[in-house]
Amino acid sequence: MSQDRIVIIGGGFGGLNAARALAGEPLQVTLIDRRNFHLFQPLLYQVATGGLSPANIASPLRAILQSYPNVEVLLAEVRHIDVPRRVVVLHEEEVPYDALVVAAGSAHHYFGHPEWEPLAPSLKTVEDATEIRRRVLLAFEAAEREPDATRRTAWLTFVVVGAGPTGVELAGAIAELSRRTLRQNFRHFDPASARILLVEGADRVLPTYYPKLSTKAAQALARLGVTLQLGALVTDIQPESVTVRCGEKLERIEARTVMWAAGVAASPLGKIVAEGTGATLDRQGRLVVEPDLSLPGHPEIFVIGDLAHYSHQTGEPLPGLAPVAMQQGRHVARVLRLRRQGKPVRPFRYYDRGTMATIGRAKAVADIRGIRFSGFLAWATWLFIHLMYIVRFQNRLLVLMQWAWNYTSRNAPARLITGGNPFPLPLSEERKNKADDQQGVS
Amino acid sequence: MSQDRIVIIGGGFGGLNAARALAGEPLQVTLIDRRNFHLFQPLLYQVATGGLSPANIASPLRAILQSYPNVEVLLAEVRHIDVPRRVVVLHEEEVPYDALVVAAGSAHHYFGHPEWEPLAPSLKTVEDATEIRRRVLLAFEAAEREPDATRRTAWLTFVVVGAGPTGVELAGAIAELSRRTLRQNFRHFDPASARILLVEGADRVLPTYYPKLSTKAAQALARLGVTLQLGALVTDIQPESVTVRCGEKLERIEARTVMWAAGVAASPLGKIVAEGTGATLDRQGRLVVEPDLSLPGHPEIFVIGDLAHYSHQTGEPLPGLAPVAMQQGRHVARVLRLRRQGKPVRPFRYYDRGTMATIGRAKAVADIRGIRFSGFLAWATWLFIHLMYIVRFQNRLLVLMQWAWNYTSRNAPARLITGGNPFPLPLSEERKNKADDQQGVS
């Protein structure tokens, strides 16, 4: 098998690390992505709550890869993979490959309720983050204008569905925003009266973490004023409410702002690859890979990151985390090199450096190689590790500056409402009457 | 006349400075804006070319004004001003005033060709800037994929219409981007081959500046590789071309990316105010104001900034510049205080601190109180003055950091293509055939 042309689909943690590890090799590498930048998704919640700008956590792919002459970037959308002919089909052309690395990642999944997506945006892309930012900030603006107390409460109720790391971090950051940053910003209500609900189907937050860390995280969230609803399933979402089932009890919560941090589904490319190769899809749409991360019977196709189901090491599939994808990307480069040299290939092994999550300002929980800790030390560790991961030096420095400033000033400088015209705001009729009364008096 | 309730329309340079100058006075001040942030428009071209993020040049209005209990911010769109009843009409309510400050600014004007707007976006809002950024970056991406030389040239032709400060700065920044930042980013063409055309109806760039500075600016632009077309009027814009008339000669330029930095028209609120007050509108839709910036016969209505036509000092109306608006905002606060104290009011006087414009990296022209200079010193002065103007300390520091980095690295870190899905890219059919050929060979 010739390995001249390597095509990588996806410029996330997996694909980008594969491309960098292949730089300088006697191969022609093409990285295909729909976006022109690599996004540091773990910090997207800080964009959604106005702490950071999108460019602080994104690096142009061409800039990252510009000094590697054997690596080419293609801004394109993959429509199909023709496995027998070994070509990736784009809208505009076909790209032939000798080896293919599929690192297309995952998307949010609404448990068979696609109609919930516009009502409860998830947090995957820069556009998702600025949309959530827009909704959260507009809710406070509407509360400032709304004279009816019940309707104001609905504007000030924020529901985050799913208490994995993203949900916990997002709920914590909204609590910080309302309790601290916005404290003096309004004249007609107290932003600290906002209710932040974190709804989770399991019986604890961060269900994939060590139980003691879940307890610590729950305590930190409670101190910030986040209300936990555990063992609770969302059964309905409407523009002004969420319905939650907790055991036998159905509860309708009046809320204008709902955010989705629950289900994750693999990229639809997984299905296309499965059809072309006969590979097995697991229930979450991930492709079951061989020990070397290739597909059974197709040593020329590798699948890595969130789209891969790899369970040779532990029996359980590896979680969809950035470090897994990064290590898998580098492993594929290693496999290709060893194959070319005719040397034996060892199975992929995930080296677990630990898991962590932040809760608001200067609080975090961490589980690093069995050592579990929480509080400020965990937060400082989290900060350090995240900064090390951020791809380019420039971003690292600017993000650190921005954090230092946010930390000392309790500020969220990027709280811009952007996008379409939000007027007229959907306020009650009472507003207008009140204005008329005032005018009658004056 | 009671001066209890002051309503300010617009949170730009004029309105914001009026609000701050009225803080602490025995008045109830309401600042109405459609956006929740003050935007430092003079640096918007740096957002359009990926040098800065929107939040670097925007500050939330509520944050700026949070410590002034007598100042309230209203996120709302003004639909009408009812002059006899003294109320500002919003979508949701009416806001009564005792004195009104109209600081609604200006919009771009397409010389009777509104159909050009989607084809040649202007640079007024954050959304305009990210849209221009998107188009410029997508043009380079399309050029990378386009095999047809003629069509590739059209992708690599950038036309900026209007050589005032915005046009000059934008053209210079695109030249920098193509000549330096993107140098190693592509594999199938040389970004430095991009053609940047600056089209101006007058016979020199920066026509409102001192002629010697125009010459200096033209020289700097030429060195950066910007092609000037002076004495040239745009007669048609199509998705793939611009037609320019130069004397008797009509020239059709194949270009996929056109940007508008030409006409400026006053906000449509000017017309509403004119109808309600009988005030005079000038040809550009500005309201002719009295020496104290109020309207004739309506001492309770002030008009400031780009929407005001003030010519008592010089015979010529003052230009639509940030310093004019800022000084006028503070003047209105002074007038209101003097009137309340029963003291005589002196006419507004504009204190001209100078005009300047940057051309690419580390080059600028300046005219500061009659002292005219250019080059690096002018650029350093420009940088210093702009940083001083940027409203909040945090932004100032971060923008300085970003600039320092951009300057040393020749980088444009915020070059993100955001917004909708751009696929399929509008490339020639040849592309696909070429791919088919390749495939036949392999």
pLDDT tens profile B328-339: 999 999 999 999
pLDDT confidence band for B442 (50 / 70 / 90): very low
- Inter-chain touch B413–A137, beta carbons under 8 Å: no
Please tell me which residue, B309 or A403, carries the higher pLDDT value. Answer: B309
Please tell me which residue, A420 or A106, carries the higher pLDDT value. Answer: A106
Q: Is the pLDDT of residue B343 over 80?
A: yes
Residue of B35, B85, B405 with shortest CB distance to A417:
B35
- Inter-chain touch A392–B405, beta carbons under 8 Å: no
**Which of B235-244, B278-287, B422-431 shows the lowest mean pLDDT across its residues?**
B422-431
User: Which residues from chain A sit within 8 angstroms of residue B137, using beta carbons?
Assistant: 36
Tell me the count of A-B CB pairs closer than 8 A: 185
Please tell me which residue, A396 or A223, carries the higher pLDDT value. Answer: A223
Residue of A77, A93, A435 with shortest CB distance to B93:
A435
Mean pLDDT value across chain B: 90
Pair A367, A209: CB distance under 8 Å: yes
**Angle at Cα B109 formed by Cα B50 and Cα B90, nearest 5°?**
90
Predicted pLDDT at B428:
81
Phi, psi dihedrals of residue B431, rounded to the nearest 5°: -50, -50
Q: Which two tokens stand for residue B377?
A: 């010193």
- Inter-chain touch B59–A392, beta carbons under 8 Å: no
- Inter-chain touch B94–A436, beta carbons under 8 Å: yes
Residue B117 makes CB contacts below 8 A (sequence gap 6+) with B108, B110, B260
Q: What is the mean pLDDT of residues A197-220?
A: 94
CA A227/CA A194 separation, integer angstroms? 11
- Inter-chain touch A96–B442, beta carbons under 8 Å: yes
- A335, amino acid identity: V
Mapping DSSP onto H, E and C, the string for A284-341 reads: CCCEECCCCCEECCEEEEEECHHHEECCCCCCCCCCCCHHHHHHHHHHHHHHHHHHHC
pLDDT confidence band for A331 (50 / 70 / 90): very high
Å from B261 to nearest chain A CA? 22
Q: What is the mean pLDDT of residues A220-233?
A: 96
Predicted pLDDT at B315:
85
- Inter-chain touch B141–A36, beta carbons under 8 Å: yes
Q: Is the pLDDT of residue B439 over 60?
A: no
Residue with tokens 């509407």: A142
Q: What is the mean pLDDT of residues A45-54?
A: 92
Highest mean pLDDT out of B359-368, B388-397, B431-440:
B359-368
Predicted pLDDT at A439:
42
Q: What is the mean pLDDT of residues A154-181?
A: 95
Residue with tokens 């606060």: B333
> Which of A177, A415, A430, A432 to probe by mutation at the B interface, max B CB count within 10 Å?
A415
Phi, psi dihedrals of residue A210, rounded to the nearest 5°: -60, 135
- Inter-chain touch A425–B76, beta carbons under 8 Å: yes
Please tell me which residue, B260 or B418, carries the higher pLDDT value. Answer: B260
pLDDT confidence band for A205 (50 / 70 / 90): very high
Question: H-helix or E-strand containing B367?
Answer: strand B364-368
Torsion of CA B405, B409, B414, B416, to 10 degrees: -170
Predicted pLDDT at B399:
72
Q: Is the pLDDT of residue A435 over 50?
A: no
> Which residues is A32 bridged to in the sheet?
A9, A74
Residue of B72, B96, B431 with shortest CB distance to A93:
B431
Predicted pLDDT at B2:
46
Q: Is the pLDDT of residue B142 over 70?
A: yes
> Which residues is A427 bridged to in the sheet?
none
Percentage of chain A lying above the pLDDT 90 cut: 68
Å from B59 to nearest chain A CA? 7
- Neighbouring CB atoms inside 10 A of A343's CB total 9
CA B139/CA B425 separation, integer angstroms? 10
Question: H-helix or E-strand containing A357?
Answer: strand A355-358
CA A417/CA B332 separation, integer angstroms? 29
CATH number for domain B114-262+361-409, candidates 3.40.630.10, 3.30.565.10, 3.50.50.100, 3.90.280.10: 3.50.50.100
Catalytic residue among B25, B117, B146, B169: B169
Alpha carbon separation from A424 to A140, A427, A434, B89 (Å, rounded):
15, 8, 17, 12
**Closest residue, chain B, to A38 (C-alpha):** B416
Predicted pLDDT at A390:
64
- Neighbouring CB atoms inside 10 A of B130's CB total 23
> Which of B79, B140, B396, B423 to probe by mutation at the A interface, max A CB count within 10 Å?
B423
Residue of B137, B413, B431 with shortest CB distance to A92:
B431
**Closest residue, chain B, to A95 (C-alpha):** B435
User: Which residues from chain B sit within 8 angstroms of residue A77, using beta carbons?
Assistant: 421, 423-424
- Inter-chain touch A66–B185, beta carbons under 8 Å: yes
Under DSSP, is residue A32 helix (H, G, I), strand (E, B) or coil?
strand
Q: Is the pLDDT of residue A245 over 50?
A: yes
Is B240 an active-site residue? no
Pair A224, A179: CB distance under 8 Å: yes
Residue B56: DSSP 8-state: G
> Which residues is B5 bridged to in the sheet?
B28
- Inter-chain touch A59–B87, beta carbons under 8 Å: no
Q: Quick one: B312 exposed, middle or buried, by C-beta within 10 A (0-12, 13-18, 19+)?
A: middle
Alpha carbon separation from A329 to A17, A103, A129 (Å, rounded):
5, 8, 26
Predicted pLDDT at B393:
54
Pair A313, A349: CB distance under 8 Å: yes
- Inter-chain touch A62–B182, beta carbons under 8 Å: yes
Highest mean pLDDT out of A313-317, A332-336, B398-402:
A332-336
**Closest residue, chain A, to B91 (C-alpha):** A424
Nearest to B195 by CA among B237, B230, B243, B158: B158
Class of domain A114-261 (CATH, top level)? alpha beta
Q: B284-327: per-residue pLDDT in tens? A: 999 999 999 999 999 999 999 999 999 987 788 998 888 899 99
CA A341/CA A335 separation, integer angstroms? 10
- Inter-chain touch A432–B92, beta carbons under 8 Å: yes
User: Which residues from chain A sit within 8 angstroms of residue B59, using beta carbons?
Assistant: 413
ipTM field: 0.91
**Which of A176-185, A339-348, A368-377, B16-25 shows the lowest mean pLDDT across its residues?**
A368-377
Phi, psi dihedrals of residue A158, rounded to the nearest 5°: -115, 125
Class of domain A5-34+76-105+267-340 (CATH, top level)? alpha beta
pLDDT confidence band for B357 (50 / 70 / 90): confident
Please tell me which residue, A385 or B68, carries the higher pLDDT value. Answer: B68
> Which of B92, B133, B155 to probe by mutation at the A interface, max A CB count within 10 Å?
B92
Mean pLDDT value across chain A: 90
Please tell me which residue, A314 or B27, carries the higher pLDDT value. Answer: B27
Cis amide leading into A54 (omega within 30) = no
Predicted pLDDT at A421:
82
Under DSSP, is residue A98 helix (H, G, I), strand (E, B) or coil?
coil
**Closest residue, chain B, to A411 (C-alpha):** B63
Q: Is the dihedral of CA B121, B237, B412, A20 positive or negative?
A: positive
Question: H-helix or E-strand containing B328?
Answer: helix B322-340
Q: Is the pLDDT of residue A392 over 70?
A: no
User: Which residues from chain A sit within 8 angstroms of residue B395, using beta carbons?
Assistant: 413
Q: Is the pLDDT of residue A433 over 60?
A: no
Q: Which two tokens stand for residue B403?
A: 């600039």
Q: Which two tokens stand for residue B389?
A: 């103007």
Q: Which two tokens stand for residue A302?
A: 């590798």
User: Which residues from chain A sit within 8 angstroms of residue B23, using beta carbons?
Assistant: none
Q: What is the mean pLDDT of residues B404-424?
A: 79
Residue of B60, B95, B185 with shortest CB distance to A415:
B60
User: Which residues from chain B sit within 8 angstroms of residue A93, using beta carbons?
Assistant: 145, 431-432, 434-435
Q: Is the dihedral of CA B345, B346, B347, B351 positive or negative?
A: negative
- Inter-chain touch B53–A55, beta carbons under 8 Å: yes
User: Which residues from chain B sit within 8 angstroms of residue A435, using beta carbons?
Assistant: 93-95
User: Which residues from chain B sit within 8 angstroms of residue A402, using beta carbons?
Assistant: 398
Q: Which two tokens stand for residue B113?
A: 């060709």
Å from B425 to nearest chain A CA? 7
Residue of B72, B394, B432 with shortest CB distance to A93:
B432
Q: Is the pLDDT of residue B430 over 50?
A: yes
Q: What is the mean pLDDT of residues A319-334?
A: 94
Q: Is the pLDDT of residue A150 over 80?
A: yes
Pair B256, B142: CB distance under 8 Å: yes
Predicted pLDDT at A332:
98
Q: Is the pLDDT of residue A335 over 80?
A: yes
What are the residue boundaries of the structural domains of chain A, listed by start? 5-34+76-105+267-340, 114-261
pLDDT confidence band for B392 (50 / 70 / 90): low
Residue of B127, B401, B409 with shortest CB distance to A398:
B401
Residue of A60, A418, A423 with shortest CB distance to B91:
A423
